[in-house]
């Protein structure tokens, strides 16, 4: 019982935060954050206890913990809900709890002047509740329920500042785009259920052996569609950059560490029953996403937009890694990315927060506080933010001594190994991987140099810039420390990824692949991948130094040079994906709605419905005339008048003298006798 309570507390504590604050938040006012922070702190403590038990005391969690109960049954259909915790789920719970707690702490200062302060923390609560539900789910149907709740809660957080123009549009875009993937996911789940007879993930893994391989491939890809939506993979990636309209702590929570990682986590869970054909498509989608998003990030000037496309690119890495069989490194990168990307987003929030205060002091409402062209020279003004953001940038760039180097190298080694085993077109996967790595190093240091180095682009703004307060800088320091390689290995050698983290992850079996062969291939390709990774990262950083720190090259001239082959415009216009959707989907759809509206209003409503109304009015008019003039006045009133006339005449015969009545009776008898005789 105590164990069940310990596990379910990951759901109870955040939903309790939501319920209390959504109904009684106005009473708590600014103490709302204290309540939410305490509940998140308890959840984090619980996650740490389970984590420590797993590592140091070899508890049952080292294998798995599970519990299932029947939700409802009807006929032959029975739906069970329950939890399943292994070391993978345990690490995810710890990541969600840690990032959630730090975001809560950060938000106490960042959101302190917001008019809907308590509602903000309530929405954070239901989001973390939903995310933990995905992690704990032992079945695809339970995962799908919480999957939709994550979509709903992210909609609330993205559109939190609904009084503005853009956040509601961004929230709608995110919600609708994710529904496309979710529909495919649901269809895939039902195909698996009707063929295997269970929603339980482990039972599906053990039961798909008898399924037709082609049908299994389709079902797996349909379920993967959910990840394409949630983890912003091509072609459903368009919602994530727009979702930056939400508060920056929200971006750190749901668009760096948790929500977008849910798709990768789900794909990791279903990896054992994905067929080789399905995995090839998964790898291709991941590669396209990683390279396309990296190229797009180069030309962004909005600091959050750069990080948004960086997130899409890194998620592409993870998906590509699962596709090539390097799924353990995909999960490794998910965790390391959660730390340094959350740190990057919170650092950007610190910069934006300082810019806001400076612009407010100047009474400037026109300057964009997120545009890097309005920054520059902030290193001395914000030393903690600069130092922590630099550490996170080194991590994402794949520099030794930092966590991103370890996890990214494993992914790149996986792409090389995959090519060595399959040859042919698979060469495109390592090319996309190493190309995206070089571009990532380039645009991330571009962000650093444009924000913190050089001369201030606006001296008036620069004067009033100052470092953020302790509640905002503490999470930055902790996350930057967690971006160091040593944390995940506890080894002195920064080039070796083997350590407690990889030992804790263990091995995952696959129904159709020889995982030992794949792991051996990755091991043998590791050194080659490491040297190539160091080379491309160095090239990317060097180019960024030349372009944006030393300013030895005119960037505009280089842009024009690249535009000869159309690359600059492709990046600037985000590969025209939004325009294509606008032309192919939105405009035709709106045209159809206009035609439908014309038919509905001008033809159906005005011609058919209104015609029937006119006919009904005419019929009712004549019916009224007939009813009143003929039936009422002629027949009914005529009968009444006749009755009155006859009765008035008969009334005169009533004299009250009995002799007259007897005479009348006698006369009637005589008439009757005469009539009878005639007959």
Query: DSSP letters of 222-250?
Result: HHHHHHHHHTT-TTS-THHHHGGGS-HHH
Residue 382 makes CB contacts below 8 A (sequence gap 6+) with: 350, 351, 354, 452, 465, 466, 467, 468
The torsion of the CA quartet 443, 446, 448, 451, rounded to 10 degrees, works out to -120
Sign of the Cα pseudo-torsion (619, 620, 626, 631, in order)? positive
State how far the Cα of 648 lies from the Cα of 455, in Å rounded to an integer: 116
Residue 554 makes CB contacts below 8 A (sequence gap 6+) with: none
Which residues are paired to 72 by β-bridges? 79
State how far the Cα of 341 lies from the Cα of 330, in Å rounded to an integer: 15
Q: Could you tell me which of 344, 375, 384, 379 has the C-alpha nearest to residue 471?
A: 384
DSSP state of 249: H
Helix (H, G, I), strand (E, B) or coil at 83: strand
State how far the Cα of 634 lies from the Cα of 428, in Å rounded to an integer: 95
Q: Would you say the pTM of this structure is higher than 0.85? A: yes
DSSP state of 498: -
State how far the Cα of 323 lies from the Cα of 309, in Å rounded to an integer: 21
Which residues of the chain register pLDDT less than 50? Answer: 59-62
Cβ–Cβ contacts within 10 Å for residue 654, how many?
Answer: 9
Contact 231, 261 (CB under 8 A): yes
Q: Examine residue 235 and say whether the peptide bond preceding it is cis (omega within 30 degrees of 0).
A: yes
Contact 184, 226 (CB under 8 A): yes
Sign of the Cα pseudo-torsion (132, 135, 137, 141, in order)? positive
Cβ–Cβ contacts within 10 Å for residue 303, how many?
Answer: 28
Contact 149, 130 (CB under 8 A): yes
Q: Could you tell me which of 147, 143, 273 has the C-alpha nearest to residue 221?
A: 273
Which residues are paired to 68 by β-bridges? 82
Dmax over CA atoms of the chain, in Å, equals: 143
Residues in the chain: 679
State how far the Cα of 656 lies from the Cα of 60, in Å rounded to an integer: 115
Cβ–Cβ contacts within 10 Å for residue 36, how many?
Answer: 31
pLDDT at 607: 77
Q: How many CA atoms lie within 13 A of 393 on its CB side?
A: 25
Helix (H, G, I), strand (E, B) or coil at 74: strand
Tell how far CA 357 is from the center of its chain: 30
Q: Could you tell me which of 418, 434, 394 has the C-alpha nearest to residue 532?
A: 434
State how far the Cα of 669 lies from the Cα of 661, in Å rounded to an integer: 13
């Amino acid at each position: 019982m105590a164990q069940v309570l310990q596990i379910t507390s990951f759901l109870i504590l955040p939903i309790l935060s939501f319920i209390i604050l959504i109904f009684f938040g106005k009473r708590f006012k600014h103490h709302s954050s204290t309540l939410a922070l305490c509940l998140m702190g308890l959840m984090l403590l619980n996650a740490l206890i389970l984590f420590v038990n797993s590592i140091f005391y070899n508890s049952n969690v080292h294998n798995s913990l599970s519990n299932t109960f029947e939700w409802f049954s009807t006929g032959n259909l029975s739906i069970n809900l329950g939890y399943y915790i292994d070391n993978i789920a345990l690490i995810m719970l710890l990541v969600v709890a840690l990032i959630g707690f730090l975001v809560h702490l950060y938000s106490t200062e960042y959101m302190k002047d917001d008019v809907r302060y308590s509602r903000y923390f309530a929405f954070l609560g239901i989001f973390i509740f939903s995310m933990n539900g995905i992690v704990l789910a032992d079945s695809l149907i339970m995962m799908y329920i919480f999957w939709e709740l994550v979509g709903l809660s992210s909609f609330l957080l993205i559109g939190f500042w609904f009084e503005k123009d853009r956040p509601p549009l961004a929230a709608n875009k995110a919600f609708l785009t994710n529904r496309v993937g979710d529909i495919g996911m649901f269809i895939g789940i039902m195909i698996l259920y009707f063929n295997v007879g269970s929603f339980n993930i482990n039972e599906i893994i053990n039961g798909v052996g008898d399924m037709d391989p082609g049908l299994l491939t389709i079902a797996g890809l349909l379920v993967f569609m959910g990840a394409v939506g949630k983890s912003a993979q091509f072609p459903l990636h368009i919602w994530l950059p727009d979702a930056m309209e939400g508060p920056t702590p929200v971006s750190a929570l749901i668009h760096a560490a948790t929500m977008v990682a849910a798709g990768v986590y789900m794909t990791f869970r279903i990896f054992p029953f994905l067929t080789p054909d399905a995995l090839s498509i998964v790898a291709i989608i991941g590669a396209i996403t990683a390279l396309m998003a990296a190229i797009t990030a180069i030309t962004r000037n909005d600091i959050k937009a750069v990080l948004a496309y960086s997130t899409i690119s890194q998620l592409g890495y993870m998906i590509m890694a699962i596709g090539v069989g390097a799924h353990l490194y995909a999960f490794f990168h998910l965790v390391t990315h959660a730390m340094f990307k959350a740190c990057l987003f919170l650092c950007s929030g610190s910069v934006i927060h300082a810019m806001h205060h400076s612009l407010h002091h100047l009474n400037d409402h026109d300057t964009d506080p997120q545009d890097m062209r309005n920054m520059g020279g902030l290193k001395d003004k914000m030393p903690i933010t600069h130092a922590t953001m630099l550490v996170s940038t080194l991590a994402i760039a794949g520099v030794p001594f930092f966590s991103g180097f370890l996890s990214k190298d494993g992914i790149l080694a996986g792409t090389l190994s995959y090519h060595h085993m399959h040859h042919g077109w698979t060469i495109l996967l390592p090319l996309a991987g190493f190309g995206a790595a070089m571009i990532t190093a380039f645009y991330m240091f571009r962000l650093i140099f444009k924000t913190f180095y050089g001369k201030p682009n606006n001296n008036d703004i620069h004067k009033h810039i100052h470092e953020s307060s302790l509640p905002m800088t503490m999470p930055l320091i902790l996350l930057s420390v967690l971006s160091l390689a040593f944390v995940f290995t506890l080894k002195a050698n920064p080039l070796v990824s083997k350590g407690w983290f990889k030992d804790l992850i263990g091995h995952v079996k696959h129904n159709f692949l020889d995982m030992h062969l794949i792991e051996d291939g990755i091991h043998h390709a590791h050194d080659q991948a490491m040297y190539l990774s160091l080379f491309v990262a160095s090239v990317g950083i060097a180019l960024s130094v030349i372009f944006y720190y030393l300013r030895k090259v005119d960037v505009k001239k280089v842009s024009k040079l690249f535009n000869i082959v159309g690359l600059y415009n492709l990046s600037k216009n985000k590969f025209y994906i939004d325009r294509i959707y606008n032309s192919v989907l939105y405009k035709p759809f709106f045209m159809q709605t206009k035609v439908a509206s014309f038919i509905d209003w001008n033809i159906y409503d005005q011609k058919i419905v209104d015609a029937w109304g006119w006919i009904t009015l005419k019929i009712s008019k004549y019916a009224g005339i007939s009813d009143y003039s003929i039936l009422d006045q002629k027949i009914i009133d005529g009968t009444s008048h006749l009755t009155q006339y006859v009765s008035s005449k008969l009334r005169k015969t009533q004299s009250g003298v009995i002799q007259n009545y007897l005479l009348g009776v006698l006369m009637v008898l005589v008439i009757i006798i005469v009539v009878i005789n005639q007959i």
